[in-house]
Amino acid sequence: MKTKLIILFSFLCLTIIGSCKKDKDQQLQNVRKPGSFKLLEVKNSSKSVHKSAFDTNYVRFDFGDLKASKEFYLLLINSGDETIYDVHLSTDNPAFTVSPSVIDQIPGGFLISNESNTGLIQLISIGIIHGIQLNGVGYTDLLPMGINTSTLTVTGRTLHNKDTLVLKNTFSLSVNAKIMDIQLFDNLNEIDLTNPSGVVGPGLGGLGFLRRYTINTLDTISIRNIGNVPINLNYGSYNDLNNSMLIPVSSSVSVSITNLIGNLFYFELNSNGVITNNNRLQLGNDGNAYFALSKY
């Protein structure tokens, strides 16, 4: 009899322990994670994930070389269970724009590794302004040549055990701004590219006219590459730009004009679509810069 009571008591203890463990596991399953921001970069139009911002509050997104103004796309994800409300996005560099800047809410439940996701994602556009308007037409300010950075700040509110949490994440954005630019010398005298002697037309590259600069040299001029991209230089008569040379970054070339036909010489600068300062160099519809020289 005593043995039966011991067995029964042991069975009841095991039953109670098992029930407690089941209740605890059920409680853990019912705990909802507060909302949490995660950011992914969209790689080209295929919308495939290129890099992630998991498990960190500060992540750098390097968008690489920037030839001219461009938009980049990020996915803003709520990786928690609770909804995130009143989302605001901002940058600390006016050349870096973010859209949308306000989001009413981002539901939770998005799991990267689970195909049964129930959450939603928000597509974010990062517009970086460099030389041309992103929304509209015309030229605008250039970024400083080289690396440019901005901090993207994302804030919002979510719930945790019925308490309101304030969320704030910061992400570092950067690009390497490329610029095509030259200095033009007549003997040792630099020609002011912002002050042409006049114009000639019709222009090359779809331009209605070309800026013309007057020189007095009898044999050569010098062109120095002061941008941060190599330049393919073509020059000659209007219908035949048959002379070519490469101008590496921070290098100068001498251009002989003794064998050119006529008194007007045309120049084409090709940097594979890199923007330039429109006050100094005219860009044609083909992305190349053009100017003309005439002798006294």
Residue range 232-253, pLDDT digits in tens: 999 998 888 999 999 999 999 9
Residue range 197-236, pLDDT digits in tens: 999 988 899 999 999 999 887 788 999 999 999 999 999 9
Domains of the chain by start residue, with CATH:
37-177 (2.60.40.10), 182-295 (2.60.40)
- The pTM for the full model equals 0.82
In the block, residue with structure tokens 């719930």? 159
Rounded average pLDDT over 185-194: 94
Instruction: For residue 249, count CB atoms less than 10 angstroms from its CB and return exposed for 0-12, middle for 13-18, buried for 19 or more.
Output: exposed
Report the C-alpha gap between 60 and 267 in whole angstroms.
41
Report the C-alpha gap between 61 and 145 in whole angstroms.
19
